[in-house]
Structure 1
Protein backbone atom coordinates (compact mmCIF):
# COMPACT_ATOMS: atom_id res chain seq x y z
CA UNK A 1 0.00 0.00 0.00
CA UNK A 2 3.00 2.33 0.40
CA UNK A 3 3.68 4.19 -2.82
CA UNK A 4 5.07 7.41 -4.18
CA UNK A 5 2.84 10.34 -3.13
CA UNK A 6 2.06 11.10 -6.78
CA UNK A 7 0.79 7.58 -7.39
CA UNK A 8 -1.09 7.12 -4.12
CA UNK A 9 -4.84 6.92 -4.68
CA UNK A 10 -7.30 9.13 -2.89
CA UNK A 11 -9.24 6.85 -0.57
CA UNK A 12 -12.62 7.40 1.02
CA UNK A 13 -13.49 5.32 4.07
CA UNK A 14 -17.22 5.31 4.81
CA UNK A 15 -19.67 3.42 7.00
CA UNK A 16 -20.55 0.50 4.72
CA UNK A 17 -23.96 -0.04 6.33
CA UNK A 18 -25.17 3.58 6.08
CA UNK A 19 -27.51 4.47 3.23
CA UNK A 20 -26.35 8.10 3.31
CA UNK A 21 -22.72 7.00 3.06
CA UNK A 22 -23.53 4.66 0.17
CA UNK A 23 -25.33 7.53 -1.54
CA UNK A 24 -22.31 9.78 -1.06
CA UNK A 25 -20.06 7.09 -2.53
CA UNK A 26 -22.30 6.86 -5.61
CA UNK A 27 -22.36 10.68 -5.83
CA UNK A 28 -18.55 10.84 -5.86
CA UNK A 29 -18.21 8.01 -8.38
CA UNK A 30 -20.56 9.80 -10.77
CA UNK A 31 -18.54 13.03 -10.55
CA UNK A 32 -15.07 11.47 -10.50
CA UNK A 33 -14.56 11.17 -14.25
CA UNK A 34 -10.82 10.50 -13.90
CA UNK A 35 -11.47 7.65 -11.40
CA UNK A 36 -9.06 9.19 -8.88
CA UNK A 37 -10.92 7.84 -5.86
CA UNK A 38 -10.90 4.41 -4.29
CA UNK A 39 -13.34 3.32 -1.61
CA UNK A 40 -13.50 1.04 1.41
CA UNK A 41 -15.87 0.61 4.30
CA UNK A 42 -14.71 1.53 7.77
CA UNK A 43 -15.76 -1.96 8.91
CA UNK A 44 -13.69 -3.86 6.33
CA UNK A 45 -10.31 -5.39 7.05
CA UNK A 46 -8.54 -2.87 4.79
CA UNK A 47 -10.58 -0.03 6.32
CA UNK A 48 -9.52 -1.09 9.80
CA UNK A 49 -5.90 -1.39 8.65
CA UNK A 50 -5.96 2.11 7.15
CA UNK A 51 -7.54 3.57 10.29
CA UNK A 52 -4.83 1.95 12.41
CA UNK A 53 -2.10 3.28 10.09
CA UNK A 54 -3.57 6.77 10.45
CA UNK A 55 -3.79 6.51 14.23
CA UNK A 56 -7.58 6.84 14.15
CA UNK A 57 -10.10 4.99 16.37
CA UNK A 58 -11.08 1.64 14.88
CA UNK A 59 -14.69 1.64 16.07
CA UNK A 60 -15.79 5.23 15.35
CA UNK A 61 -18.28 4.70 12.54
CA UNK A 62 -19.64 8.24 12.91
CA UNK A 63 -16.78 9.71 10.93
CA UNK A 64 -15.87 9.87 7.30
CA UNK A 65 -12.18 9.55 6.43
CA UNK A 66 -10.44 10.86 3.33
CA UNK A 67 -6.84 9.83 2.70
CA UNK A 68 -4.92 11.93 0.19
CA UNK A 69 -1.15 11.92 -0.37
CA UNK A 70 -0.72 9.95 2.84
CA UNK A 71 -2.60 12.52 4.96
CA UNK A 72 -5.77 11.64 6.83
CA UNK A 73 -8.73 14.00 7.01
CA UNK A 74 -11.96 13.40 8.93
CA UNK A 75 -15.45 14.80 9.21
CA UNK A 76 -16.15 18.13 7.49
CA UNK A 77 -12.50 18.64 6.52
CA UNK A 78 -12.60 15.32 4.67
CA UNK A 79 -15.88 16.14 2.93
CA UNK A 80 -14.68 19.56 1.77
CA UNK A 81 -11.45 18.09 0.41
CA UNK A 82 -13.43 15.50 -1.54
CA UNK A 83 -15.58 18.25 -3.08
CA UNK A 84 -12.39 20.02 -4.12
CA UNK A 85 -11.40 16.97 -6.23
CA UNK A 86 -14.70 16.55 -8.12
CA UNK A 87 -15.63 17.73 -11.59
CA UNK A 88 -17.99 20.62 -12.19
CA UNK A 89 -18.74 23.40 -9.70
CA UNK A 90 -18.40 21.17 -6.63
CA UNK A 91 -14.87 22.44 -5.81
CA UNK A 92 -16.45 25.81 -4.96
CA UNK A 93 -17.81 24.22 -1.77
CA UNK A 94 -14.24 23.98 -0.54
CA UNK A 95 -14.52 27.70 0.27
CA UNK A 96 -16.42 26.63 3.43
CA UNK A 97 -13.04 25.58 4.82
CA UNK A 98 -12.85 29.16 6.17
CA UNK A 99 -15.64 28.32 8.63
CA UNK A 100 -13.94 27.25 11.87
CA UNK A 101 -13.65 23.46 12.15
CA UNK A 102 -15.57 23.24 15.46
CA UNK A 103 -18.61 24.85 13.81
CA UNK A 104 -18.34 22.72 10.64
CA UNK A 105 -17.86 19.57 12.68
CA UNK A 106 -20.81 20.34 14.95
CA UNK A 107 -23.05 20.30 11.87
CA UNK A 108 -21.28 17.17 10.62
CA UNK A 109 -21.72 15.42 14.00
CA UNK A 110 -25.43 16.30 14.11
CA UNK A 111 -26.00 14.73 10.69
CA UNK A 112 -23.77 11.72 11.50
CA UNK A 113 -25.63 10.99 14.74
CA UNK A 114 -29.00 11.01 12.94
CA UNK A 115 -28.05 9.40 9.62
CA UNK A 116 -29.49 5.94 10.33
CA UNK A 117 -32.80 7.42 11.48
CA UNK A 118 -33.06 9.78 8.50
CA UNK A 119 -31.57 7.68 5.69
CA UNK A 120 -31.65 4.09 6.95
CA UNK A 121 -29.18 1.30 7.50
CA UNK A 122 -28.50 -1.90 5.60
CA UNK A 123 -27.09 -5.17 6.85
CA UNK A 124 -24.58 -5.34 4.01
CA UNK A 125 -22.19 -2.98 2.28
CA UNK A 126 -22.69 -1.48 -1.18
CA UNK A 127 -21.91 -4.05 -3.86
CA UNK A 128 -20.27 -2.37 -6.85
CA UNK A 129 -20.96 -3.53 -10.37
CA UNK A 130 -18.18 -5.21 -12.33
CA UNK A 131 -16.94 -1.99 -13.95
CA UNK A 132 -16.46 -0.30 -10.55
CA UNK A 133 -15.19 -3.27 -8.54
CA UNK A 134 -11.50 -2.34 -8.98
CA UNK A 135 -12.14 0.99 -7.21
CA UNK A 136 -13.34 -0.76 -4.04
CA UNK A 137 -10.51 -1.88 -1.78
CA UNK A 138 -12.58 -4.44 0.16
CA UNK A 139 -13.06 -6.67 -2.85
Structure 2
Protein backbone atom coordinates (compact mmCIF):
# COMPACT_ATOMS: atom_id res chain seq x y z
CA UNK A 1 0.00 0.00 0.00
CA UNK A 2 1.37 3.41 -0.95
CA UNK A 3 1.84 6.17 1.59
CA UNK A 4 -0.99 8.16 -0.04
CA UNK A 5 -3.37 5.18 0.05
CA UNK A 6 -2.61 4.59 3.73
CA UNK A 7 -3.08 8.28 4.48
CA UNK A 8 -6.51 8.54 2.85
CA UNK A 9 -7.73 5.43 4.67
CA UNK A 10 -6.74 6.67 8.10
CA UNK A 11 -7.50 10.42 8.05
CA UNK A 12 -10.41 12.77 7.44
CA UNK A 13 -8.76 15.14 4.98
CA UNK A 14 -9.96 18.49 3.67
CA UNK A 15 -8.08 19.63 0.57
CA UNK A 16 -8.34 23.37 0.04
CA UNK A 17 -6.98 26.09 -2.24
CA UNK A 18 -4.47 27.91 -0.03
CA UNK A 19 -4.47 30.97 -2.29
CA UNK A 20 -8.23 31.46 -1.90
CA UNK A 21 -9.24 33.81 0.92
CA UNK A 22 -12.67 32.16 1.23
CA UNK A 23 -11.03 28.73 1.48
CA UNK A 24 -8.61 30.00 4.12
CA UNK A 25 -11.53 31.45 6.09
CA UNK A 26 -13.20 28.01 5.88
CA UNK A 27 -10.02 26.47 7.31
CA UNK A 28 -10.04 28.99 10.16
CA UNK A 29 -13.67 28.03 10.83
CA UNK A 30 -12.75 24.33 10.89
CA UNK A 31 -9.84 24.97 13.26
CA UNK A 32 -12.08 27.00 15.58
CA UNK A 33 -14.86 24.38 15.66
CA UNK A 34 -12.82 21.17 15.57
CA UNK A 35 -10.96 21.20 18.90
CA UNK A 36 -10.10 17.49 18.61
CA UNK A 37 -8.49 18.06 15.19
CA UNK A 38 -10.42 15.18 13.64
CA UNK A 39 -10.14 16.93 10.26
CA UNK A 40 -6.72 17.30 8.68
CA UNK A 41 -6.29 20.27 6.37
CA UNK A 42 -4.05 20.03 3.34
CA UNK A 43 -3.38 22.61 0.64
CA UNK A 44 -3.99 21.42 -2.92
CA UNK A 45 -0.78 23.25 -3.84
CA UNK A 46 1.33 21.16 -1.43
CA UNK A 47 3.15 17.98 -2.50
CA UNK A 48 0.82 15.84 -0.33
CA UNK A 49 -2.23 17.62 -1.72
CA UNK A 50 -1.01 17.04 -5.28
CA UNK A 51 -0.45 13.32 -4.56
CA UNK A 52 -3.94 12.95 -3.11
CA UNK A 53 -5.51 14.75 -6.08
CA UNK A 54 -3.63 12.45 -8.48
CA UNK A 55 -4.73 9.39 -6.48
CA UNK A 56 -8.37 10.32 -7.14
CA UNK A 57 -7.65 11.46 -10.75
CA UNK A 58 -8.58 15.08 -9.98
CA UNK A 59 -6.90 18.00 -11.70
CA UNK A 60 -3.69 19.18 -10.09
CA UNK A 61 -3.93 22.62 -11.69
CA UNK A 62 -7.63 23.60 -11.70
CA UNK A 63 -8.95 23.78 -8.15
CA UNK A 64 -12.69 24.17 -8.71
CA UNK A 65 -13.81 22.42 -5.54
CA UNK A 66 -12.84 21.61 -2.02
CA UNK A 67 -12.21 17.87 -1.70
CA UNK A 68 -13.11 15.98 1.47
CA UNK A 69 -11.76 12.47 1.97
CA UNK A 70 -13.01 10.01 4.54
CA UNK A 71 -12.46 6.23 4.55
CA UNK A 72 -10.70 6.49 1.17
CA UNK A 73 -13.80 8.04 -0.41
CA UNK A 74 -13.61 11.51 -1.96
CA UNK A 75 -16.43 14.05 -1.84
CA UNK A 76 -16.49 17.25 -3.88
CA UNK A 77 -18.65 20.35 -4.28
CA UNK A 78 -21.62 20.64 -1.91
CA UNK A 79 -21.25 16.97 -0.93
CA UNK A 80 -17.85 17.78 0.59
CA UNK A 81 -19.27 20.75 2.50
CA UNK A 82 -22.21 18.77 3.90
CA UNK A 83 -20.04 15.78 4.88
CA UNK A 84 -17.80 18.09 6.91
CA UNK A 85 -20.47 20.33 8.42
CA UNK A 86 -22.62 17.45 9.67
CA UNK A 87 -19.70 16.32 11.85
CA UNK A 88 -19.28 19.67 13.56
CA UNK A 89 -21.13 20.47 16.73
CA UNK A 90 -24.38 22.30 17.24
CA UNK A 91 -25.47 24.73 15.78
CA UNK A 92 -23.24 24.28 12.71
CA UNK A 93 -24.43 20.83 11.80
CA UNK A 94 -27.95 22.24 11.44
CA UNK A 95 -26.88 23.77 8.14
CA UNK A 96 -26.68 20.18 6.93
CA UNK A 97 -30.45 20.29 6.59
CA UNK A 98 -29.89 22.07 3.26
CA UNK A 99 -28.46 18.82 1.91
CA UNK A 100 -32.07 17.70 1.36
CA UNK A 101 -32.33 20.25 -1.45
CA UNK A 102 -31.71 18.78 -4.89
CA UNK A 103 -28.04 18.00 -5.56
CA UNK A 104 -28.28 19.84 -8.84
CA UNK A 105 -29.24 23.07 -7.01
CA UNK A 106 -26.66 22.66 -4.21
CA UNK A 107 -23.86 21.97 -6.67
CA UNK A 108 -24.96 24.83 -8.93
CA UNK A 109 -24.78 27.22 -5.96
CA UNK A 110 -21.44 25.76 -4.85
CA UNK A 111 -20.03 26.12 -8.37
CA UNK A 112 -21.23 29.73 -8.68
CA UNK A 113 -19.46 30.68 -5.47
CA UNK A 114 -16.35 28.60 -6.28
CA UNK A 115 -15.93 30.00 -9.78
CA UNK A 116 -16.17 33.58 -8.47
CA UNK A 117 -14.33 33.14 -5.16
CA UNK A 118 -11.24 35.14 -6.15
CA UNK A 119 -13.37 38.03 -7.43
CA UNK A 120 -15.71 38.00 -4.42
CA UNK A 121 -13.23 37.31 -1.61
CA UNK A 122 -9.76 37.86 -3.01
CA UNK A 123 -6.64 35.80 -3.51
CA UNK A 124 -3.45 35.38 -1.54
CA UNK A 125 -0.20 35.43 -3.47
CA UNK A 126 1.38 33.13 -0.91
CA UNK A 127 0.33 30.01 0.97
CA UNK A 128 -0.28 30.22 4.69
CA UNK A 129 2.06 28.65 7.17
CA UNK A 130 0.13 27.19 10.11
CA UNK A 131 0.92 28.55 13.53
CA UNK A 132 2.36 26.18 16.12
CA UNK A 133 -1.02 25.80 17.84
CA UNK A 134 -2.77 25.06 14.51
CA UNK A 135 -0.27 22.48 13.25
CA UNK A 136 -2.30 19.57 14.71
CA UNK A 137 -5.02 20.45 12.19
CA UNK A 138 -2.73 19.99 9.17
CA UNK A 139 -1.29 16.92 7.46
Q: TM-score, normalised by structure 2?
A: 0.90
Of 45-54 and 93-102, deviating more is 93-102
* Structure 1 residue aligned with 2:66: 64
Unaligned runs of 5+ in 2: none
Q: Distance in 2 between matches of 1:129 and 1:16?
A: 15
CA-CA distance at 1:94 after TM superposition: 1.7
Q: Kindly indicate whether residue 54 of structure 2 is the aligned counterpart of residue 52 of structure 1.
A: yes
SS at 1:132's partner residue? Answer: helix
Show the counterpart of 1:10.
Answer: 12
- In structure 2, the partner of 1:43 is 45
Please give the alpha-carbon distance, in whole angstroms, between the structure 2 residues aligned to 1:118 and 1:3: 33
Q: Tell me, which stretches of 5 or more residues in structure 1 are unaligned? A: none
Partner of residue 32, structure 1: 34
In structure 2, how many angstroms separate the alpha carbons of the residues matched to 1:94 and 1:71? 19
The structure in which a higher percent of residues are helix is: 2
Instruction: Report the equivalent of 2:130.
Output: 128
Q: How far apart in 1 are the matches of 2:122 and 2:99?
A: 29
For the Cα contact (< 8 Å) 2:67–2:76, is it kept in 1?
yes
Q: Does structure 1 residue 102 correspond to structure 2 residue 109?
A: no
Given that 1:42 and 1:48 are in contact with CA atoms closer than 8 Å, whether structure 2 keeps it comes out as: yes
Q: By how many angstroms is 1:56 displaced?
A: 1.7
Residue 119 of structure 2 corresponds to 117
Q: Check the 8 A contact 1:33/1:87 in 2, yes or no.
A: no
Q: CA RMSD in A?
A: 1.6
